[in-house]
Amino acid sequence: MCVDYGTGVSFVDYVISLLPSSPFATVFAQIGNLPYLGYLNWFVPVGQILGVMTVWLAAIATYYLYSVFMRWIKLIGD
């Protein structure tokens, strides 16, 4: 398989490069090094909650996409 993104992607990449970087990324990266996170996870299933939340977000996003589409074709009201 050979994929050539071409100049379109280059332009998108240029536009993206104008945007500021995430202001939170470094903060979250440091949180991962905190001690006693294992203790927290002993009480709260953070990983599993994260997994459920991810799936839930995807489901909600899909629902809203569908709702936008259905409103667009006047299948449902506003």
Partner 1 sequence: MIKKSFCIILCILVVGMVFMPATSTYSAAIVTTGITGVVCALLSYYGISFASVGLTTSDIDGGIYDLLVEYAAYVGASISTLFPASNVVRGAASLISIGGTFLDSFFEFVTWLVYRNVSAGGTAGSISEGIRIVESTQIDGYPVMLYPGERYQWAANSDSPWIEITGNSSPVYIWWAISRVNSNWGTVQVYSVSSYSWAFHYWASNGSDYLTGQSTSGAYGYYNQLGNVWADRIMPKDGLYINNGFFAYDIAAAAPTISQGGTGLRITGTPAIPQVLPTDVTLGVTGLTSSDDTVDAAGEYVLSAVSSNVLSTTTINTAIPDGPFVSRGLESVFPFCIPWDLYHMYQSLDAQPVAPSFSWLISIDRLGISETISVDFSDWDDVAAVCRKMELLGFCVGLILVTRKLIRG
Is 13 near partner 1 (CB under 8 A)?
yes
Distance CA 47, CA 61 (A): 21
Distance CA 42, CA 50 (A): 15
* Three-state DSSP class for residue 63: helix
Closer by beta carbon to partner 1, 47 or else 74: 47
Query: Residue 8: CA atoms inside 13 Å, Cβ hemisphere, count?
Result: 3
Task: Find the angle CA(9)-CA(12)-CA(14) to the nearest 5 degrees.
Answer: 110
- Residue 55 CB, nearest approach to partner 1 (Å): 10
Is 29 near partner 1 (CB under 8 A)?
yes
Q: Which of 60, 70, 75, 76 binds partner 1 (CB under 8 A)?
A: 60
Binding residues for partner 1, rule: CB under 8 A, are: 1-5, 9-10, 12-13, 16-17, 19-25, 28-33, 36-50, 52-54, 56-57, 60-61, 63-65
